[in-house]
Amino acid sequence: MPLDASDTTWIIVATGLVMMMTPALGFFEAGLLRSKNSLSVIMQTFSGLAILSALWFILGFTMVYGQTLSGIIGGSDWLFFNGVPHEEALSYAPTIPGITFASYMMMLAVITPLLMTGAIAERTKWSAFLVLMIAWSIFIYYPLAHWVWGKGGWLAQIGVFDFAGGIVIHTSAGMSSLAAAIVLKRRKNFGTALLLPHNIPLAVIGASLLWLGWFGFNAGSGFITGALASNVLLVTHIGSAMGAIVWMLLSWKRSGRASLTAVINGALVGLVAVTPSAAYITAQNAFFLAIIAGLISYFAMILFKEKLKIDDALDVGAVHGVTGITGSLAVGFIASNAINHSVPNGLLMGGGPALLQAQAIGVGVAIILGFGGTLIISKIINKIMGLRVKEAEEDICLDITQHAEKAYLE
């Protein structure tokens, strides 16, 4: 197939949109944390953008998309991006240059591990954070992405569908967040009134750019423009809107006052919910899916935070993990062959349980690898170098103790 200029244009733009999501995530999180630790999370996301881009360039791309070694991991064909074609396409995205595909996927590989920054916030050592991100990419993300998205990956083989990363990205990073939060233990003062957000406008700036970026994230993941991308964009937008509305109503009901932080979290939930299925469902189904995912995630948040008392600071486990699971399983119910010919019909669309079974396996693997793998990685890092700052440093704050900088000065 010859390269298509329109598709390439769209993926170039989408690459930019997704790139911006990583700093946006930093603003979202920083605004919802205390002022004294807000710089540290922006540092983590922004530096993470640089470091994980380099890691993908050197190692990641070939581990995920290189010629598969028995469905387990990609070979070293494209180490350091060597040989990734400029003027020709790869089979993954047959109408755009190979480097365009590789660059786009870089942005996904950057943001995924960084989702965990919301869970480990306000107590993680800077150096340990760097090691965690790199180890997690190499041992969890690159393999899992290869299994689901790589040509010949074993989960792809058994028929798992994950359009823009419900399993590979949100389930894995969300479950990993819970594991890391457990290993790190709770922040001092967890459960008291002392951990309120310090700059909600900043958080909303982040949320708005995430919403926009997600248009590139989802509608770019088909690697073509046109009707498919158009439908994905609509599905994504409706998902976000309904997630926001559900969380807004739940916060209103629970506390008597409609909460803006709930609205922005709900929007993310909606976006995550439709991510794995965005190209396989109608906007009408996205409407209902986002409502259901909104409800589930809100109660998961309460469960983790209030019942299990896991200090996943910004609820990454609920917002991304649980919603990623919901959305990935939903593919098995509502994927529609009429919308997208590459996908079989889900259970509710008359397709039988096969797809649902495959999805369940994919989700299960991501949970085990994400939660289990992160537990192990975190414990090893904790053993070797310590994952958490000293108590006195936590009291003072990460911004000064880790970076000798303050977010705001008069």
Name 310's Cβ contacts closer than 8 Å, sequence gap at least 6.
178, 181, 182, 186, 304, 317
Whole-angstrom Cα distance, residue 73 to residue 84? 18
Is residue 316 within 8 A of residue 173, CB to CB? The reply is yes
- Residues 292-321 contacting other proteins, CB under 8 A: 298, 301-302, 305, 315
Quick note: the x/- pattern for a second copy over 269-308, rule CB under 8 A, is: --------------xx--x---------------------
Told to check if 379 binds other proteins by CB under 8 A, we report no
Q: What are phi and psi of 389, to 5 degrees?
A: -70, 165
Binding other proteins (rule: CB under 8 A), the pick from 189, 230, 284, 342 is: 189
DSSP 143-157: HHHHHHHSTT-HHHH
406 binds other proteins (CB under 8 A): yes
Kindly state whether residue 331 participates in binding other proteins, applying the rule CB under 8 A: no
Applying the rule CB under 8 A, the residues between 159 and 188 that interact with a second copy are none
Alpha helices in 56-141 (DSSP H): 61-65, 98-114, 126-136
Q: Binds 156, which of a second copy, other proteins, none (CB < 5 to 8 A, cut-off by type)?
A: none
Using CB under 8 A as the binding rule, whether residue 193 contacts other proteins is answered as yes
Of 258 and 303, CB closest to a second copy: 258
Convert residues 252-281 into a mask of x (bound to other proteins by CB under 8 A) and - (unbound): --xxxx-x-xx-------------------
Report the distance separating Cα 182 and Cα 312, nearest Å: 8
Do residues 369 and 112 touch, judged by C-beta distance below 8 A? Answer: no
Interface with a second copy in residues 46-85 (CB under 8 A) = 46-47, 49-51, 53-54, 57, 80-82
Report what 19 binds from other proteins, a second copy, none; CB cut-off 5-8 Å by kind: a second copy
Among 37, 62, 100, 171, binds a second copy (CB under 8 A): 100
With H, G, I as helix, E, B as strand and everything else as coil, classify residue 259: coil
Q: Does 337 bind a second copy (CB under 8 A)?
A: no
Q: How many residues bind other proteins (CB under 8 A)?
A: 30
Q: Are strands 73-74 and 68-69 parallel, antiparallel or unpaired?
A: antiparallel
Sign, CA torsion 73/74/75/81: negative
